[in-house]
A and B are shown apart, each in its own frame.
Chain A
């Protein structure tokens, strides 16, 4: 293999597939009450938190795994997983970034996430989650000045227990579906955000998730509360090492927007997708739900899904407050043997509520892509409006692209519009680009980026650049 070929080969591989050699503390394998007590204990949680977990666990015993989804997978043995894994050096939590294990800092540097604040010029506050614990949160001081709370979930449970207790489980109750309930029982860490009344968060808040340890499930929990008249933009990124075994990631994300508040939640999901033959990869079974609780509130989901062996999630909005707005912008790309079953739910309860869904799916190789969405306008939601557009792009005839929207309208004063198309990149488009000197891959990357533009535009600047590159890389080698 000459050097050029090697270079190309490197490019096509998953860039973030390295493993950090670091000592871990783990809970004993298996899902039982002792594991839950172990987690609760090691995090020094108050009693109400442990009760919450135990209650969820009791409920979990009654629930069955759902099996209506399109991507089928071998049964997960929940007793064969580690539910808690943390770098040993975190045992005594470092007071500042200088005390952080250099290996961890090195890891995040490799991922392109410098945690040292001085190295950060563009002003994004980051919370980094490594396996089961949050390792560092940057720009804390500056945020605190404005009364913004941005910290790890464990810290919030200790220091802001009133807020956590009030809102945790209020959007995704512990009686929800199997994976959400599992998360409620064993969640380890995540981010907590509270924006006080009338504050516009001056910087993007960001969490970076990384699964490092093997045979570990990552169960993080994120809770974002935007008080009256506030605004926050939150970013989430994720990677994992390359391993032969499938790993489970079942997170819960709850958003609450009070009167006139706005939350913008962006995700670039790039978990390890498995190798070219579909071996390994992350099962990404995430429950994301936002509640527009107050009047004139707004929640906007933007997601770029390129990783994971199986992605199965429906970020949803419950539009409870009058005049509230829900938005969902999504790009999902599957290649090789990846499978995705993703979409959204827009539940209109309040009057004059509006929602917009733009979903772009691209499937290549032997992959399978599904948009599944629900638009439900209840009888009381007068003058509500929904617009949905789902476009799919197919590359090759071994992949599949599917669209299943559920459209329910119980209100004659409301309007729903839905449209979907499925097509491929036409030969004319390719010919046109090639004629102007682009090679096939560049041409496809250009066309695909154009196809996704509506969604990419919604992302904050830094993310948009990363996402655009990711779109190109994910599809490399899918043509020819």
Chain B
């Protein structure tokens, strides 16, 4: 594979016109990746998900460069449930940016951005930096509250296969602004490796609501690296619906850099078949009086595997921190597996931090209770599972999006 990727990288540099300093940066990142390779289970953060092995068993030969893709005849379907702004990526390339519902000068979009040097100890981020060609950076101006949500459509055409796609989006919310974002992707029946990086900067008093949705069924392998910086008195709501891809890892790093920031991070992992999904979170409490709340629920059937790794870090400056983390898993089948590593790393004394983690099957007494009221075994089980997941969905504060997500998960009529 190594010779192939080197060849691809050469071709990529020749094809795109970068400045010499950019070429150097990309080469540095590329060498960093070559040195480390795809992460394997010997790396602590990948202990429960050996990506190197997963890629090898699912994708025979990985291409890092995609040419000759027919874009014209691809029919783009968009969400009809609510009005929204769009950014559409097709095979990792920006196809369309549409902010019809917003005032013109309030959102600034920049493309073909140069990458900066950053020190992230993560080979996949290096890979992303090496291969990303034109990424979007957009800024929501000071005090502007967006009127409609924004949806990122990440579409793949059916003729793209065994390819590595490196995509990057940077969003800057200036002080006092607000934005709701939804991530969506289409079902694609070919094995691809999608390496998505998103950086968010949330200014003072700004609010970001982010909904990452991975539904349906696809053999894709996805890695999402999210870096979110919060300023004073800002708020982040983050929701993950993780159920569609063959493998998906959401790697979320949030930093509460200033006082009174708050984070509500909720996730649902709902798997069947041989899917393997992981949510990994790191919440850095760096200043006083910040709050973070995490709730992850996981339902596993067939031979699926769910992983949750969460870490709350509290700096010695961050007194009066309130940190909470709960992960619960339902293992409905003999061959399912759930692994958790909820971590606390605390250097301040006046804090309230706790975590909980449970895993097991459905309580038979509850099933008995429902069956004695006339439901069948299957119905009872389904009702209990839906109720279990419902708690997480109820955390969503954007009503329209909540209804949309309930529809996607088939939970809209239960209650």
Contacts and interface: CB of A to CB of B under 8 A. Distances in A.
A402 B343 contact: yes
Nearest to A427: B350
B278 interface: no
A371 to B, nearest CB: 9
B361 A413 contact: yes
B349 interface: yes
* Residue from B339, B343, B346 having most chain A Cβ neighbours under 10 A: B346
B366 interface: no
Interface in A398-456: 398-424
B356 A418 contact: yes
Contacts of B344: 392, 401-404, 420, 422
A68 interface: yes
A408 B357 CA distance: 11
B353 A407 contact: no
A394 B339 contact: no
A399 B349 contact: yes
B346 A409 contact: no
Nearest to B345: A402
Contact of A392 (B335, B336, B346, B356): B346
B319 interface: yes
A409 B338 contact: yes
A414 B360 contact: yes
A394 B346 contact: yes
Contacts of B360: 409, 412, 414-416
Contact of B349 (A395, A405, A410, A419): A395
A396 interface: yes
A3 interface: no
B384 to A, nearest CB: 14
B329 interface: yes
Contacts of A403: 342-344, 355
B370 interface: no
Interface residues of A, number: 34
A397 interface: yes
B51 interface: no
B106 interface: no
A416 B358 CA distance: 5
Contacts of B333: 412
Nearest to A407: B340
Interface residues of B, number: 35
A421 B353 CA distance: 6
Contacts of B319: 397
B354 interface: yes
Contacts of A412: 331-334, 336, 360-361
Contacts of B316: 397-398
Contacts of B337: 408-410
Interface in B272-304: none
A405 B344 CA distance: 9
A418 B334 contact: no
Given A407-B340, A409-B337, A396 B358 contact: no
Interface string B71-98: 0000000000000000000000000000
Interface string B255-273: 0000000000000000000
Contacts of B351: 394, 422-424
Given A405-B341, A407-B340, A412-B333, A397 B348 contact: yes
B347 interface: yes
Nearest to A412: B331
Nearest to A403: B344
B346 A402 contact: yes
A405 B357 contact: yes
A416 B349 contact: no
A33 B77 CA distance: 74
Nearest to B339: A408
A419 B355 contact: yes
Interface string A367-380: 00000000000010
Interface of B: 44, 316, 319, 329, 331-361
27 contacts: A392-B344, A394-B349, A396-B349, A397-B347, A397-B349, A398-B316, A400-B347, A401-B344, A402-B343, A402-B346, A403-B344, A406-B339, A406-B340, A406-B341, A409-B337, A409-B338, A411-B331, A412-B331, A417-B356, A418-B355, A418-B357, A418-B358, A420-B354, A420-B356, A422-B352, A424-B349, A424-B351
Given A405-B343, A418-B356, A422-B352, 17 more contacts: A68-B44, A396-B349, A397-B316, A400-B346, A403-B342, A403-B344, A403-B355, A407-B341, A409-B329, A411-B334, A412-B333, A414-B360, A415-B358, A419-B354, A419-B357, A420-B354, A422-B346
